[in-house]
């Protein structure tokens, strides 16, 4: 009996965000599917620009070949006030992500690949979508995250705490 070959996983790359990426990220943030969850594209770009200069916040563009698929930022979950992450291990890395229009449908796959890399440095990864952001939740589940605890974030907004462990 011949076993069919496994479908190969696409190769995803991750490169640091550069100042020259900010106009592209601003365009992605203006897309209504992203803007609903990352409100105020100008404000968001100001925050992303400021984070470029911080050593704590790591920012990457997910790619497949030369095609940019999405944005991720990750940082120690305990670095900023995040009461919904307080119960997690001290080495937990928190992530925030959004997709590019040309990356729709691939978010779970590239995030899975990024998380595989991050779990070499930390025992736990955490992400906190809005409870009604079902598209994101499905992508995070595809990336290996689970959890249905709803808690208040530092601003008092409800978030769904999802984790992926080593």
Percent residues over pLDDT 70 in the chain: 94
Is residue 116 within 8 Å of 110, Cβ to Cβ?
Answer: no
CA-to-CA separations, 114 to 14, 59, 91, 95, 144, in angstroms, rounded:
8, 12, 17, 10, 11
Structural domains in the chain plus CATH codes: 13-165 (3.40.630.30)
Regarding pTM above 0.85, the answer is yes
What pLDDT is recorded for position 6?
A: 46
pLDDT tens-place string over residues 105-144: 889 999 999 999 999 999 999 999 999 999 999 999 999 9
């Amino acid at each position: 009996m011949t076993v069919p070959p496994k479908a190969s996983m696409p190769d995803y790359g991750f490169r640091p965000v550069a100042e020259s990426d900010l106009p592209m990220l601003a365009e992605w943030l203006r897309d209504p599917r992203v803007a609903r969850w990352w409100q105020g594209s100008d404000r968001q770009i100001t925050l992303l620009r400021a984070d470029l200069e911080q050593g704590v916040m790591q920012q990457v563009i997910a790619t497949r070949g030369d095609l940019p698929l999405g944005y991720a930022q990750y940082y120690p979950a305990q670095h900023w006030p995040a009461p919904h992450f307080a119960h997690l291990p001290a080495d937990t890395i928190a992530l925030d992500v959004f997709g590019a229009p040309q990356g729709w449908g691939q978010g779970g796959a590239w995030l899975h690949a990024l998380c595989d890399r991050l779990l070499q440095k930390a025992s736990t990864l955490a992400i906190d979508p809005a409870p009604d952001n079902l598209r994101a939740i499905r992508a995070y589940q595809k990336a290996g995250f689970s959890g249905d605890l709803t808690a208040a974030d530092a601003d008092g907004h409800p978030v769904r705490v999802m984790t992926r462990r080593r």
